[in-house]
Structure formats: C-alpha cells, structure tokens
C-alpha cells in the first residue's frame, strides 16, 4: 500500500484516534487533535464550540421568484424566496380534483374569445381546443377527440407579451433596465388602461380577482398560522410592495404623463404580479418571461406523466422568418368536450400551488382517502452554516467546493426520509471538537465525501438533537394539531379558503412529524453506526473487518 503525505497525516490522526476510540474523553481528543494540528502548522483554539439550532430555519416554500429575479433580489429576501428545485417526483395516475381558494371570478365572454383568436391571426375553425367557461374560470376544451402528444396550439413569438413587446410600446423607454416581471406588470396595467390596445380582448378575459394567498384577507391568513406558506406569502407581499415603492420613485414619478397614479396603484401592481406568477411557465420565465395569450388559459390537472412537457418552446431558426413558437401538447388522450389540462409541476406541493395559483389538490375518492393522500405534502427546510462559528470559513469553503451555499433549502416529501445531501450538510454545520480536523485545508477536496457518511457519534448526535429540536419547535408553531385538521376535513369544510389552509397546514405537519420520527429512530441506532475513524482505517487497510489492527502497521 502506498501512502502520500495526506494519507500519512491522516493515518497519524486516525491511528491516534483509533488508539483512544474506546473510553476517549473530549479532552483527550482535543489533545490528539491539537498535536495533529501542530503537525499541519495550524493553530486552533479548542474552546468548546456552541452551535445554535436556530440556524435550522423554517424555510419558505420553494418558489420560482428566482426565475424572475435571479440577480437583484436583496439577499435576505433572496434567501427567503429563492427556490431549491425539488427533483421531479413521478406523477401517479389518480383521480384528482382541486379545491380552489375562492369562487373563481371568470371574465368569460364568447365575443371576446372570438376577438382574441382572430387578433392572434388564427382561424377559429382550425383550432382543436377552445376557451370555454369551466369550473376553474376559463379553460381550454377539446373540440374533437385528441391523442396524447398531439399539438393543440402553436403560438408564435410575435403574439407573446415579452420584454421586447414592452420595449417597443409607449412605456418602453420609461421601464428600460427594469426587471422583466416589472416591465411586463407595468405593461399589463398600461395596456389595460388603453382603449385601443391591440391586447384588449386578451386583457379583458384575464381574471379580475386572483385566488393566490397573496390576495387573502388577514383573517383568512390567520388560518395559516405557523405555516411556511404564511411566511412565503408575507415575504412575497413585502417584496412586491418594496418593488412598487422603488418603481414609484424610479419610474412612475419621473414619467407621470405615462403612468396615471390612479391606475398604477399598489393594488393594481399586485394584481399584475399575481397574473404573471399564475400564467407564465418554464422555459418562458426569468429573463425570457413571456405571457402567451390563449395558451395560458390551460388549467392544471395531474396526469400520468412520461416526463414530456405539455408546454414547450419550438425554437425558430430565423431562416425564412421562422420564429420561436410556444407549443401546447396534449398531456394525455382527451375526449371531445373534455377540458384539456396540463400539470403545472408535479414537484409543486400544496403550499406552492396555493401561493401561485390559489388552489390545492385533493383526491376525490372519499374523505378518508383525501385525508390519507400525502402526495402533495411538502416541507422545505433551509439549513444555514452558522455565522460566528470559529470554523465558519472552512465550512463555507467545503460547502462551496461541493456546490452548496451558506444556506441551502431541502424539500422534504413524504416517505423519502431526509435527503442524503441534507444529512451531509447537517454534519458539516455541526462539525466541531475532535472531528474538526476534517475541516483542515489538507482534506478540503475530500471533506464532503468524508462527511457524507456518519463522522462520529457526537457529530451524529448533534445532528439528531438539532433536527429534533427544530421539528418540535416548528410543530409547536401551528395553531392546530394533525388530528384536529384531519377531523375538520373529514367533517367537511365549506369555506374554500379555509379548506386550502387546512390542507396546507396538515401537509406541512405530516412531513415534519415524519421527519421527527426518522431522527428519533436514527438517534436510537447511533451505537450501531460505523463512523469515520473506523471506516477510514479500514479503507486504508489499517484495521480488518473485525476492528483489529492489521500487522503491517507495525513493520519497521
Ligand atoms: C394559467 S391560468 C388558467 C386560466 C384561468 N382558469 C383563467 O380563467 O384565466 C391559471 C389559473 O387558473 C386557475 N386554475 C387552474 N387550474 C386550476 C385547478 N385545477 N383548480 C382550480 N383553479 C385552477 C387558478 O386560478 C390559476 O391561478
């Protein structure tokens, strides 16, 4: 076996640690590590380090505001709003109905629909789907039988509302340099106030009232006490308000002639924000933000997914005038007269659906099945490397090298347990005392790998304690218990917004309770785990599988 300088040093550390593994005290370990650090020419203070579990935050729901805002959100808000995209969860075929947070106020008008279609240069007869009034406002209804994958609509870029559209409009100069969503929001309000707008029929078909929790009253929001959804809703409201205050100074006041203060109100600006959040879909988000009239009347429904998006952009070559086109495809077979739906995002939990669109999913089989269904339950946990930790810089460095930041959000979904990378990040956060040698610069590149498995009983115990404290505190923050919510749902709730609130808070609590159970079980098996020291000695061939030293160590 050949050992490089790193291995030699590590061997020395491990050998010393190993020699003292049984019955070692913290002080002994500190001494051992102290000497090893001396070896590296490092001087560390070995004062006991306190780690604050408050750094485990109750995060906001993963959101895609970053899609609109990546670069310029204030860091605090960014941390709160920035999403950690969950891996797509395979969609299970089921009979899904949704609960909308209030009665949808549809602006359906057949004449306006005709006018919208002709303004897009489409012949009504050629359409295979048509906007019709449906349970959730306006929806697209199949005019004939449709096959899965069939192209339903193809809307060319010239018919989208993009930053380019805004630039070329009368307010183009005034909004120059503003974020894409701000440009589009002001454009919507400006055109809504323009009697001769080419977008008139589209704008008149848009819902005047939105159901997102952003538009709930304080009393309604009270039902969300303790939830992540409440935190996200309030953060968004604050964010939109801050943006409005900013553009009032930067845009509205300097261009008073373009922006009538009675039209460009905070309320109207919030409506426009809500419209953009509920009607734009990837990849037409962020810098490429675009509203696609007609296609954006498609409602949500879950479908058995083959991973192929229903909403996709066919890129034009530019040759012979060919341009980008938004193509809406049938997500499954539909019968004539049936409403065509697409999945707004299989990874979106109840909270995110409620915040962005104002509805949650429910399984319409029976009240019991509804209560048992956990497919959309979600809790997003944000972990943060504690500031003021004497090892903060080293920990940040290791996190960064491994592609993580000072704070990371992890989506916890039912039945999955904590994600592996979350456990690794947690171990890094609480790494301290004798284990801190893993933070040494020498081990930097391999540190993440080393801590991806249990480091030491103390470290794993600290992880469990922090998580159990965090889960308990989070569960204590809700105004109702899981049982109370279940009973309410089983008894039936008439108020749709209350129903949304109960489904969301129940979902969050169920995930937290499950997480708590996982860490309780984990902390009960800490004695059975294999830790870093034994693992590395075995990897280096210095002990055998029974834990005995291999003879070569003692060769001259
Ligand atoms: C992209 S728009 C779809 C068109 C919209 N129904 C309309 O009337 O203009 C998204 C909005 O439609 C509503 N919506 C879509 N799918 C829904 C569903 N499954 N249940 C309840 N409301 C839904 C929500 O208000 C959501 O914010």
Ligand 1 touching residue 278 (CB < 6 A): yes
How far apart are the C-alpha atoms of 125 and 143, rounded to whole Å? 10
- Index of the ligand 1 atom closest to the CA of residue 206: 9
Tally the domains of the chain: 1
Residue 386 has pLDDT above 70, yes or no: yes
Ligand 1 atom nearest to 98, measured from its CA: 20
Query: 182 by DSSP, 3-state: which?
Result: helix
**Given the CA of residue 300, which atom of ligand 1 is nearest to it?**
16
pTM (two decimals): 0.78
Give the strand pairing for 299-300 and 339-342. parallel
CATH number of the CATH domain containing 234: 3.90.1410.10
* Domain containing residue 203: 161-291
Q: Bridge partners of 311?
A: 328
User: How far is Cα 13 from Cα 38, in angstroms, rounded to an integer?
Assistant: 12
Domain membership of residue 280 (yes or no) is yes
Find out whether the beta carbon of 211 lies less than 6 Å from any atom of ligand 1: yes
Q: Which residues contact 197 (CB under 8 A, 6 or more apart)?
A: 191, 203
Predicted confidence at residue 536, as pLDDT, reads 79
Flag whether 221 is in a domain.
yes
The DSSP H or E segment spanning 299 is: strand 299-300
Determine whether the shortest distance from the Cβ of 98 to ligand 1 is under 6 A: yes
Determine how many CB atoms are found less than 10 A away from the CB of residue 432: 19
> Which residue reads 């012979």 in tokens?
320
Contact 390, 49 (CB under 8 A): yes
Q: Which two tokens stand for residue 253?
A: 């006041």
Q: Are 507 and 377 in contact (CB under 8 A)?
A: yes
Q: Which two tokens stand for residue 415?
A: 């039945």
Average pLDDT over residues 491-500: 91
CB distance 456 to ligand 1 below 6 Å: no
DSSP letter, residue 136: T
Q: Is 79 contained in some domain?
A: no
**Whether residue 358 has its Cβ less than 6 Å from ligand 1:** yes
Ligand 1 centre to CA of 358 (Å) is: 8
pLDDT above 80: residue 287? yes
Task: Retrieve residue 358's tokens.
Answer: 């104002």
In terms of Cα–Cα distance, which of 313, 210, 218, 224 is closest to 269? 210
Q: Which of 67-71, 102-106, 159-163, 354-358 has the lowest mean pLDDT?
A: 67-71
Instruction: Please give the positions annotated as active site.
Output: 344
Give 308 Cα–ligand 1 centroid separation in angstroms: 21
The mean pLDDT value for 93-112 works out to 62
Asked whether residue 140 is domain-assigned, the answer is no
E strand or H helix at 228: helix 228-247
Could you count the other beta carbons within 10 Å of the beta carbon of residue 23?
6
Residues 6 or more apart whose CB falls under 8 angstroms from that of 522 comprise 460, 464
The count of other CB atoms within 10 Å of the CB of residue 119 is: 16
Among 22, 113, 46, smallest CA distance to 527 is for 22
pLDDT at 280: 97
- Judge whether 279 lies within some domain: yes
Nearest CA to ligand 1 atom 20: 98
For residue range 110-139, list pLDDT tens digits in order.
Answer: 999 999 999 999 988 899 999 999 988 999
Best residue for ligand 1 mutational test, from 133, 271, 278 (most atoms within 8 Å of Cβ): 278
The number of beta carbons lying within 10 Å of the beta carbon of residue 218 is 6
Is any atom of ligand 1 closer than 6 Å to the C-beta of 136? yes
CB of 277 shorter than 6 A to ligand 1: no
| Cα(100) to centroid(ligand 1), Å | 9
Q: How confident is the model at residue 538 (pLDDT cuts 50, 70, 90)?
A: confident
Confidence grade of residue 209 (pLDDT, cut at 50, 70, 90): very high
Q: Which residue's CA is the nearest one to ligand 1's atom 18?
A: 300
CA of 292 to the centre of ligand 1 (A): 15
Report yes or no on 477 lying in a domain.
no
Residue 29 lies in a domain: no
Mean pLDDT taken over the chain: 80
Q: Which residues contact 537 (CB under 8 A, 6 or more apart)?
A: 14, 15, 18, 543
Query: How many angstroms does the Cα of residue 345 sit away from the middle of ligand 1?
Result: 13
How many angstroms does the Cα of residue 219 sit away from the middle of ligand 1?
24
Query: Looking at residues 439-443, what average pLDDT do you find?
Result: 91
Strands of 8-150, DSSP E: 56-58, 96-100, 129-134, 137-142
What sign has the CA pseudo-torsion 177, 169, 312, 352?
positive
User: Cβ(509)–Cβ(230) under 8 Å?
Assistant: no
- Say which residue, 393 or 101, is predicted with more confidence: 393
Reply yes or no on whether the pLDDT at 524 is more than 90: yes
Average pLDDT, integer, range 444-466:
96
- pLDDT tens column, 311-351: 999 998 776 667 999 999 999 999 999 999 999 988 888 99
With 90 as the cut, is the pLDDT of residue 306 above it?
no
- % of the chain with per-residue pLDDT over 70: 75
In a domain, 305, yes or no: no
For residue 82, give the DSSP letter. Answer: -
Q: Is 213 a pocket residue for ligand 1 (Cβ < 6 Å)?
A: no
Rounded to whole angstroms, the Cα distance separating 345 from 183 reads 25
Q: Who has greater pLDDT, 51 or 345?
A: 345
């Amino acid at each position: 076996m050949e050992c490089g300088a790193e291995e030699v040093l590590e061997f020395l550390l491990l050998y010393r640690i190993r020699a003292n593994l049984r019955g070692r005290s913290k002080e002994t370990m500190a001494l051992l590590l102290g000497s090893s650090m001396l070896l590296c020419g490092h001087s560390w203070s070995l004062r006991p380090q306190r780690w604050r579990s408050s750094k485990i935050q109750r995060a906001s729901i993963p959101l895609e505001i970053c899609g609109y805002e990546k670069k310029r959100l204030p860091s605090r808000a960014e941390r709160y709003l920035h999403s950690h995209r969950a891996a797509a969860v395979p969609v299970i075929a089921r009979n899904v109905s949704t609960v909308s947070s209030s009665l949808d106020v549809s602006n359906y008008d057949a004449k306006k629909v005709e006018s919208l279609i002709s303004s897009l240069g489409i012949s009504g007869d050629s359409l295979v789907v048509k906007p019709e009034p449906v349970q959730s406002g306006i929806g697209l209804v199949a005019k004939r039988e449709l096959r899965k994958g069939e192209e339903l609509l193809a809307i060319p870029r010239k018919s989208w509302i993009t930053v380019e559209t805004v630039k070329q409009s009368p307010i183009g100069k005034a909004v120059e340099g503003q974020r894409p969503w701000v440009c589009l929001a002001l454009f919507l309000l400006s055109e809504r106030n323009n009697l001769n707008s080419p977008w008139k029929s589209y704008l008149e078909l848009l819902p005047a009232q939105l159901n997102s929790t952003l538009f709930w009253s304080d009393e309604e929001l009270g039902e969300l006490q303790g939830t992540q959804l409440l935190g996200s809703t309030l953060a968004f409201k604050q964010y939109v308000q801050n943006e409005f205050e900013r553009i009032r100074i930067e845009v509205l006041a300097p261009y008073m002639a373009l922006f009538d203060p009675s039209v460009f109100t905070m309320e109207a600006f919030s409506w426009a924000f809500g419209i953009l959040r509920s009607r734009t879909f990837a990849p037409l988000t962020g810098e490429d933000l675009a509203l696609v009239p007609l296609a954006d009347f498609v409602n949500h429904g879950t479908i058995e997914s083959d991973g192929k998006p229903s909403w996709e952009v066919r890129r034009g070559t530019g040759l012979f005038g060919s341009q980008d086109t938004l193509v809406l495809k049938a997500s499954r077979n539909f019968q004539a007269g049936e409403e065509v739906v697409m999945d707004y995002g299989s990874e979106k939990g109840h909270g995110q659906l409620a915040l962005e669109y104002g509805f949650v999913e429910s399984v319409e089989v029976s009240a019991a099945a509804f209560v048992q269904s956990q497919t959309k339950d979600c809790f997003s946990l944000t972990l943060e490397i504690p500031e003021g930790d004497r090892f903060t810089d080293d920990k940040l460095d290791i996190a960064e090298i491994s592609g993580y930041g000072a704070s990371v959000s992890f989506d916890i979904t039912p039945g999955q347990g904590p994600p592996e990378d979350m456990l690794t990040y947690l171990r890094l956060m609480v790494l301290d005392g004798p284990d801190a040698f893993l933070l040494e610069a020498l081990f930097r590149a391999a540190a993440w790998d080393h801590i991806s498995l249990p480091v030491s009983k103390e470290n794993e115990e600290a992880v469990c304690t922090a998580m159990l404290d965090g889960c308990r505190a989070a569960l204590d923050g809700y105004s109702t218990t899981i049982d109370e919510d279940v009973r309410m749902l089983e008894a039936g709730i008439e108020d749709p917004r209350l129903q949304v609130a109960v489904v969301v808070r129940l979902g969050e609590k169920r995930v937290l309770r499950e997480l708590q159970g996982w860490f309780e079980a984990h902390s009960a098996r800490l004695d059975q785990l294999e830790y870093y020291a034994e693992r590395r000695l075995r990897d280096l061939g210095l002990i055998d599988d029974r834990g005995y030293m291999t003879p070569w160590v003692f060769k001259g």
